[in-house]
Amino acid sequence: MAGEDGDLPSLTLQVSEPHETWKQEMERRQSQVDVLQVKLMEVKACMQGSEGDAKKELEVLWRRVKTTATLLTYLKSKARVMAVPDLAHTSCGIKELEGVGLVDRSGTPLSSWSRNVDLPSFGPDEEACMRLGQQQGSYDEQDEAYIGELLKCVQMVSNVMEGLVKRVIIAESETAVEKDKVTLSQEENRRKAIQIENMSSKLEEMEQFALGTNVILNEMRQRVEDLVEETSRQRQRAAENEQELCRVKRDFESLKSYVSSLISVRETLLSSERQFQTIERLFERVRCSTHCPSW
């Protein structure tokens, strides 16, 4: 119960706030009604003073309203046309030329289109004014000026819509180009990824080859070291053999000298033996001559 008593002021406040707002709105509306009533009284006074002028003014206003409605209908139909891409291209005079691409009604290619909406100075079209005047009845110089201003506004809105259509086409073209760039970038990234994978596999193969080559180089280094050691041993043996050869040569020379001496001694002995034999034969002759009688 205490909670309900506590919520009552808040509910009263929530109810009173819309009431105050509604009251203020009613007062504002009442002030507007008062102002309109004053204007209505002024209009009635003017109408009472010159009913003919008021009627003429109403006719002018009615013609202007109908003219404005006609132009608004035109703008609505043009807006509906602009909402359809193919119809918008036709309405804006945009067409595609072979080898050039999209061009506007002045022959300007898409690459030279401006992003800014072109709002050139537009003068009243007398023919359009006369055509609208014939549709709405007689018109005076004020109507012509009013219609001219309306036509300028309509032309400006039409130019804005055509400019927006061009900007949409430019944006779509740039989007397509960017999509192509993204696609090319993705393809390039895929190619690079494949190249990186290939390079990684090649590097692994090169590492394995380098490991195998390193093993072979180590084996060759060991063989070279063994060959160097063997060469060193062979050189040492060659030096020893050379020394042995020198000793053999010296021994051979000594032996040769010794043999020469022996030969010389032998020859001497042989010569002595021949001499002894000669002496013996002589001695025998002498002995024979001594013991044999003489005849």
3-state secondary structure 184-200: HHHHHHHHHHHHHHHHH
Q: Tokens 């013609």 map to which residue?
A: 63
Identify the residue whose tokens are 């007062």.
27
- What is the band of 121 on the pLDDT scale with cuts at 50, 70, 90? very low
Record the pTM.
Answer: 0.42
Sign of CA dihedral 9, 13, 15, 20: positive
pLDDT at 126: 45
Domain boundaries, the chain: 55-210
- Regarding predicted confidence, which is higher, 277 or 87? 277
Q: Each residue of 218-257: pLDDT tens digit?
A: 999 999 999 999 999 999 999 999 999 998 898 888 888 8
pLDDT classification of 286: cutoffs 50, 70, 90:
confident
H or E, element range at 253: helix 141-291
How does pLDDT run across 161-212, given as a tens digit for each residue? 877 888 888 788 888 889 999 999 999 999 999 999 999 999 999 988 888 8
- Given a contact cutoff of 8 angstroms between Cβ atoms, the answer to whether 80 and 91 are in contact is no
Q: Is residue 64 within 8 Å of residue 126, measured between CB atoms?
A: no
* pLDDT for position 89: 73
Euclidean distance between CA atoms 121 and 148, whole angstroms: 12
| Residue 129: predicted pLDDT | 46
